[in-house]
Amino acid sequence: MVLNLSKKKISSVALISFADVIFLLLIFLLISSSFITHSGIRVNLPASTVQQNEYHRNISITITEEDDLFVDDTPVTWESLPSVLNNLLIDDPEQVVVIRADQQIALSRIVRLLDIAKLSGTNRFFIATEIVREQEI
């Protein structure tokens, strides 16, 4: 019995290196998408079972239970809030205003914050909540 042995070139694409590149891109996207910015101000956020998106370009307005007001960790007064927001929104009007209010704050205070933000020139809002499971609510 005679065996015919011949060397043929492999003409397939090396899929192993392609899979490595895809895997590394996937890891990069997963890691970079998990960067979440939180301020150092302690606030008991209301609970929600729906996850919300956080945006990279945002202005964080925090109101504490003691009615202290902060814009991006800087204390402000109610009277100076419109001018501070105007200055921040002039630089980038596409920024999202993130309202971080303590769960004990009256709804009228939050509506007042939203009105001031609207008058400052933005229509993009985000109300920060703490994500919990449905059984915990």
pLDDT in tens, 40-94: 556 655 555 555 555 457 888 888 888 889 988 889 998 998 888 888 888 777 7
pLDDT reported for residue 113: 87
pLDDT for 16 beyond 60: yes
Q: Is residue 29 part of a domain?
A: no
Contacts of 3 (CB under 8 A, 6+ apart): none
pLDDT reported for residue 66: 86
Residues 39 and 113 sit within 8 Å (Cβ to Cβ): no
For the chain, how are helix, strand and coil distributed in percent, rounded to 5?
35, 20, 50
Q: Is residue 74 part of a domain?
A: yes
Output the pTM of the full model. 0.57
Residues 69 and 62 sit within 8 Å (Cβ to Cβ): yes
Burial of 75 per CB tally in 10 Å (0-12, 13-18, 19+):
exposed
- What CATH number is associated with residue 130? 3.30.420.270
Which residue did the predictor score with more confidence, 33 or 53?
33
pLDDT for 121 beyond 70: yes
pLDDT reported for residue 11: 59
Q: Is residue 103 part of a domain?
A: yes
Average pLDDT, stretch 2-25?
A: 72
Nearest residue to 99 via CA among 87, 82, 86, 117: 117
Q: Is residue 127 part of a domain?
A: yes
Domain count of the fold of the chain: 1
pLDDT for 15 beyond 60: no
Could you give the dihedral angle defined by the CA atoms of residues 35, 27, 52 and 78, in that order, rounded to the nearest 10 degrees?
Answer: 10
